[in-house]
Amino acid sequence: MDQKKISGAEALLFALNAEGVDTVFGYPGGTIIPLYDALYVHSDKMRHILTRHEQGAVHAAQGYARASGRMGVCIATSGPGATNLLTGIADAMIDSTPIVCVTAQVPVNALGTDFFQEADIISMTSPVTKWNYQVTRAAEIVPAIAHAFFIAGTGRPGPVVIDVTKNALTEMLDGFSYEKCTELRCYNEHPVIDTAELERAVQLLNAAERPFIIFGQGVKLSGGEKQLRELSERGNIPMASTVLGLSAIPSDHPNFVGMVGMHGNLAPNRLTQAADVILAVGMRFSDRVTGDLKKYAKQAKIIHIDIDASELGRILTPEIAILGDAAEALAAMKRIVEPRDRSEWFAEAAAHRAFEEEEVISKDLHPTKERITMGEVIDGVAQATHGDAIIVTDVGQHQMEAARYSQFRRTRSLITSGGLGTMGYGLPAAIGAKIALPNREVVLFVGDGGLQMTIQELGTVLEWRVGVKIVLLNNSFLGMVRQWQQLFFERRYSSTPMTNPDFQKIADAYDIPHRRVERREELAGAIAEMLEAPGAYFLEAKVDEEDCVFPMIPGGASLSDIMFNG
């Protein structure tokens, strides 16, 4: 133990250091000043990235975590600072993103008095955190941080909130020592896999004529990408991804047939409805994936692997449920899976692919009309980056198009708000990703609506010279809502057209090189210019205002009812 007297705030900082944290995102305020003072005094130990809004800080922490696999950390003051984190915390919960959020709280003896900037953040975040805890004494800070990192980062990852009263930050401690938390009663972060069930699962796969693998983000979170690939290759089994699973397998892998779900590819949705055995791994059967559950994969026996016991049997009852780490389960399965000739089954997938190519993809990527499509821009970036960039998106049409048309060669290369669908996520998440991995190209696709929800984070780009490439797909509409109005509300465009500012002037004000393209001939050159720029770049593409994302399975419809046009 280091015997020098230190404050609770210093202990908090040293504890973060002891967990390997060197960067935190945040925003100061009255209650949290002692922690900011410690950050000032110990600026050699911790880099603090000042965002322009606490929502920016939490999404940046999420982007940081998603890109790197390390813990994302953000800090905020009490009251409005803490409540501004709420959206990002809920987002991290539903998308299993490991973040630790430290909020300051009013002094312990003022709790419950409606003190200035008091908000009961523990109650507010209880349903959207994996764990939360209020610290009221300096001595509790270090063990609370140790617990926070263990809980947020293990098992199914998620957000943790540590709320620290101001007196705990200023109280003095006799010294500092740190012990990592490695186990907790009542929390089984690493369930032992039932090998008999696993063998039964492989027998089902081996006997299957038309087996199909659907994987989610759990494969990335467990580091099981290689195991998944080898299982699919050895067993000769086609595989598809959820939105959050994308990039775990290279897009051009011959066994990879695309993305499932509402705006997914045709082949995986059709294969879901034709498979005799489905292996679902590290995914949670979201409604965006299943459509009408009563008609979902009725013919198939389903094997579900997940590390979160509460996911098994929650949405549907699988034939075989396996609780455990995806990488471990896949590693064991691949050893006993038997190769079988499934060329007919793969041929079915190829036929669906060809149909989609003809009906949708060719129109998106090689349009004959005048206006640029979102697909063209996304495809242009994929070609120019050779699928090597980290793609970050906001939420809306551009998000689904980015998921459909980006090419991925490396894992953890798509960062997007899947479960909560949080507009405003993109820009700050891209900032966090670029700060975590400065040597990777990070390209953000964002809509004109979502950009304006966290546009102030251009200030963070400016201050830290964050080299993110921002691609604004500007359709002057809240496009995805407009699409639903067009298709299901007889084109009554209620509050979806938008009068936008001159985004070029905004980029200019933030000293970010910028360009607007409206004509197809300019697009490739503009993308090249963006990628050659040494730092940040703002590329605005004016795209067709009334394009829709297809294919589409309307909300609540069966996976068999796919729309190809409006």
Ligand X SMILES: Cc1ncc(C[n+]2csc(CCOP(=O)(O)OP(=O)(O)O)c2C)c(N)n1
Q: Which burial class, exposed, middle or buried, applies to 267 when counting CB atoms under 10 A from its CB (0-12, 13-18, 19+)?
A: buried
Q: Candidates 73-81, 380-388, 479-487, 516-524: pick the segment binding Mg ion (CB under 5 A).
A: 479-487
By C-beta, is 171 or 448 nearer to ligand X? 448
Least distance to ligand X from the beta carbon of 171, Å? 39
Report the residue number, 72 or 450, with the smaller CB distance to ligand X: 450
Q: Is 28 in the site for Mg ion (CB under 5 A)?
A: no
Active site residue 445: no
* Ranges within 449-468 binding ligand X (CB under 6 A): 449-450
Q: How does DSSP assign 509-558, residue by residue?
A: HTT--EEEE-SHHHHHHHHHHHHHSSS-EEEEEEB-TT----SB--TT--
Give the closest residue to 9 by CA, choosing from 182, 230, 171, 219.
171
CB of 77 to ligand X, least distance (A): 23
Candidate list 19, 54, 140, 356, residue with the active-site label: 54
Q: Is 54 a catalytic residue?
A: yes
d(CA 204, CA 237): 13
What residue 423 binds from Mg ion, ligand X, none (CB within 5 to 8 A, per partner kind)? ligand X
Q: Which of 245, 396, 467, 551 binds ligand X (CB under 6 A)?
A: 396
Instruction: Supply 118's token pair.
Output: 């008091």
Q: To the nearest whole angstrom, how small is the minimum distance from the Cβ of residue 443 to Mg ion? A: 18
Draw the binding track, 459-478, toward Mg ion (x: CB under 5 A; -: no contact): ----------------x-x-
Name the 3-class secondary structure at 530: helix
Report what 450 binds from ligand X, Mg ion, none; CB cut-off 5-8 Å by kind: ligand X
Query: Is 480 noted as a catalytic residue in this protein?
Result: yes
Q: How far apart are the first and last CA of the chain?
A: 68
Residue 116 annotated to the active site: yes
Sequence letter at residue 464? W
- Is 483 an interacting residue with respect to Mg ion (CB under 5 A)? no
For residue 75, which phi and psi values (nearest 5 degrees)? Answer: -135, 150
- Closest residue to Mg ion, judged by C-beta, is 447
- Residue from 220, 398, 412, 515 that binds ligand X (CB under 6 A)? 398
Shorter beta-carbon distance to Mg ion: residue 158 or 449: 449
- How far is it, in rounded angstroms, from Cα 410 to Cα 391? 11
| 532 belongs to the catalytic site | no
**H-state helical runs in 127-224:** 138-153, 166-170, 195-207, 218-221
Residues in contact with Mg ion, total (CB under 5 A)?
Answer: 5
Of 96-104, 213-221, 427-435, 472-480: span binding ligand X (CB under 6 A): 472-480
CB 239 within 8 A of CB 249: yes
**Contact status: 132 vs ligand X (CB under 6 A):** no
SS3 67: helix
Size of the site for ligand X (CB under 6 A): 20
The one catalytic residue in 5, 116, 338, 383 is 116
Select from 14-22, 95-103, 256-264, 396-404 the region that touches ligand X (CB under 6 A): 396-404
**Residue 315 binding result from ligand X, Mg ion, none, given CB thresholds of 5 to 8 Å by partner type:** none
Residue 422 makes contact with ligand X by CB under 6 A: yes
Cα separation values, 402 from 256, 374, 377, 414, 458, Å: 17, 8, 9, 9, 22
Q: What are phi and psi of 497, to 5 degrees?
A: -75, 145
How many whole angstroms separate alpha carbon 474 and alpha carbon 101? 33
- Nearest CA among 291, 203, 214, 217 for reference residue 69: 217
- Cβ of residue 452: shortest distance to ligand X, in angstroms? 8
Per CB under 6 A, does 421 bind ligand X?
yes
Catalytic residue, from 166, 301, 334, 434: name it: 166
Q: Please choose which of ligand X, Mg ion, none residue 140 contacts, taking the beta carbon within 5 to 8 angstroms, the exact cut-off set by kind.
A: none
**Interaction with ligand X in 376-395: which residues (CB under 6 A)?**
394-395
The CA distance from 354 to 336, in Å, is 33
> Is the separation of the CB atoms in 24 and 45 below 8 Å?
no
What's the rounded Cα separation, in Å, for the pair 25 and 43?
14
* Nearer to ligand X (CB atom), residue 150 or residue 477: 477
**Neighbour count for residue 260 (Cβ, 10 Å):** 31
Sites for ligand X among residues 474-493 (CB under 6 A): 475, 477-481
89 vs 435, which CB is nearer to ligand X?
89
Residue with tokens 């209880």: 126
Q: Would you call the peptide bond into 551 cis, given omega within 30 degrees of 0 as the criterion?
A: yes
**CB 416, min distance to Mg ion, A:** 16
Dmax (CA) for the chain in angstroms is: 73
Alpha helix (H) ranges present in 95-179? 121-125, 138-153, 166-170
Return residues touching Mg ion (CB under 5 A). Answer: 447-448, 475, 477, 479
Q: Which residues bind ligand X (CB under 6 A)?
A: 394-398, 421-424, 447-450, 473, 475, 477-481
Q: Which residues are catalytic?
A: 54, 116-117, 166, 480
